[in-house]
Amino acid sequence: MSWDDEEIYVVVINYEEQYSIWLANKEIPLGWKKEGFKGTKSECLDHIEKVWTEMRPLSLRNMMEEMKNKGN
């Protein structure tokens, strides 16, 4: 077990609905907010793998939807 396994992290999400992890005892950087899950690094990464099923950024999804609607 490395020291890394004992650190507590939070899962964070940005305005593009992209996920990352951040040390729980550090201030969350601008543009990110807590998603709600907290745990070890591996627990947080496992959580992200389960919930982050749409990898395209929100702005790209919105643009593609807009283009699709204009085509109708």
Tens of pLDDT, residue by residue over 10-23, are: 999 999 999 999 99
Kindly list the domain boundaries of the chain, sorted by start residue: 3-70
| pLDDT recorded at residue 1 | 46
| Matching CATH number, 3-70, of 3.20.20.140, 3.40.50.1370, 3.40.50.2000, 3.90.820.10 | 3.90.820.10
pLDDT along the chain (72 residues), means of 10: 75 96 97 97 97 88 85 69
Residue pair 38/8 in contact (Cβ under 8 Å)? The answer is: yes
How many other CB atoms are there within 10 angstroms of residue 21's CB atom?
21
| pLDDT recorded at residue 3 | 53
Q: Show the DSSP H helices in the chain as ranges.
A: 41-51, 58-70
